[in-house]
Amino acid sequence: MLIPYQQIAPETLNSLIEHYVLREGTDYGDSEITTEQKVAQVKAQLQSGEALIVFSELHESVNIVSKAQFHAMQSQDYDSEPTYD
């Protein structure tokens, strides 16, 4: 289930993004960037729609994923639906 970032309290949103950034461990090349810069980048991606906040009812967890990852997850769920003859 998608959760619009605008519906999350600012402090909670920042905590969620910080947790995501620290968990990701993405390589930013030769120059290191601060956690604050990474948080700002993810926040910008949420605002532009490039990244989405997803709640998994199955795992009872919240995650930030790219729009492409979300669409892949959706098609995976659709493909795994049981068929009835």
Residue 52: helix, strand or coil by DSSP?
strand
**Is the residue at 84 inside a domain?**
no
Number of domains forming the structure of the chain: 1
Cβ neighbours around 3 below 10 Å, total: 14
In this predicted structure, what is the pLDDT of residue 25?
A: 66
The Cα 36–Cα 20 span in angstroms is: 12
Specify whether the CB–CB gap between 11 and 25 falls below 8 A.
no
Decide if 15 is inside a domain: yes
Identify the CATH number of the domain in which residue 69 sits: 1.10.10.610
Q: What is the pLDDT of residues 45-70, one digit of tens each?
A: 999 999 999 998 888 999 999 999 88
> Does 85 map to a domain?
no
Residue 71: give the domain boundaries: 5-26+33-79
pTM for this prediction:
0.76
Give residue 84's pLDDT.
46
- 39 pLDDT tier (thresholds 50, 70, 90): very high
